[in-house]
Chain A
Amino acid sequence: MKFAYFPGCSLKGLGRAYEESLLPVMRHLGLELEELDDWNCCGATAYMAVDEAKACVLAARNLALAERSGRDQLLAPCAACYLVLNKTKHYFHDYPAMKATIDRALAAVDLAYAGDTAVRHPLDVLVNDVGLDAIRQKVVRPLRGLKVATYYGCQLVRPYATFDDPYNPVTMDRLVEALGATVVRYPLKTKCCGGSLTGTVPEAGIRMVYILLNEARKRGADCLATVCPLCQFNLDAYHAQVRSEYGDVIVPTVYFTQLMGLAFGLPEKQLGLHRAAVPLRWRPPVPEVAHA
């Protein structure tokens, strides 16, 4: 399977560990990712709030590039990119005025978008296209004993994803279980991570981070697994602030692709685990070699 790949800004910056772990895992499963040539900002977050039309035009340019690349599926690992690209696609189909704006803007740079590219998240592709059986076959170091709170955040399944339930997503749960880990029941799996609040209204943002970390700890999780670079950053980077406000609550947050890499036995250096402020120290037990 070949996909056009849209990394977005995070995966080249703060979320490098996501890309670092994603690429070898996908390669290991025989999936080819072809990074879009000359991609630009997806149009997420502040841009969308300031000028929706311009944000959609930005996203549409990426969709048009994907279409031109000849791939009919575009992989967007960052939950924010995934949301905006999907949103733009919906707007393009549902609102003629927005379509006209997009068409006009793209025409100015000799691009066109027909509206067919499927925007996919790696989680969806891994579980629904590759399949859990194929993934299980690649597991050489099962994550036996690791208790994981799966955390999806707000953007992945709401409102455009069709591959999971918006209130109670379970795709990552099934994936993590296939890796041999134990999933703890975590009722906050789609709550806000604090998002941009940590930068604008820090006391509200930090409180949200605390609630998420504290609930994961109370439920005995060794780590939180996430699908979004912003969630990972928020839950990882503010441990100090949480400590000064509420006391120590230390729970590492990893990308689900890092857990896959560990289970597949990929070299640790490839997985970017060391980049976290509070890195996951736990390692899967080395399987005993049967004596001849």
Chain B
Amino acid sequence: MPDLIAKPALGRAPMTMAATTLAEAAWTRITSIAPFPGQAGSISAALAPLDLSFPPANRFVQSAFGRIAWSGREQAFLFGPEAPPNLAAAVTDQSDAWVMLDLTGPQAQAVLARLVPLDLRAATPGMAFRTALNHMPLLVMVDHAQVFRLLTFRSMARTAWHELQDALSGIDARLGLKA
């Protein structure tokens, strides 16, 4: 056990408005896996015991053991389990580099439409996009049409939270007009 106290990126309680919740996800091991040229197949083979395979662009693969999401050109993030040893890939620890926020609820897409330039009509479950959260780098994973996991730079966590909260509170106020 480490003696140093580990701290979350934000340490904030979840916030709910308009039946939509923004919450900081618990710490998870994140490992970047960037196969060396021509090695994506061997990575998939090595991931097979985890019921995972190297994901195609804009997708993630989920299993009972964990998840692996496309995170950029020739690169994926493995969430949960340790990476298998001796992969023919560049492997780095990214667990502390990102703040993970879960956006869940009927207004989740509307919130993202205010900050993310993507056409979310294409956001079907199992999709993972590298894009931007306003001016911040973003990896967004679609668990469900109303459930999104957002990763942005850990140092920008407060801004990300603030901007998501702002967007949600504006939507909540709009809904108040109709109610």
- Do A and B associate with each other? no
Chain B residues within 8 Å of A, Cβ to Cβ: none
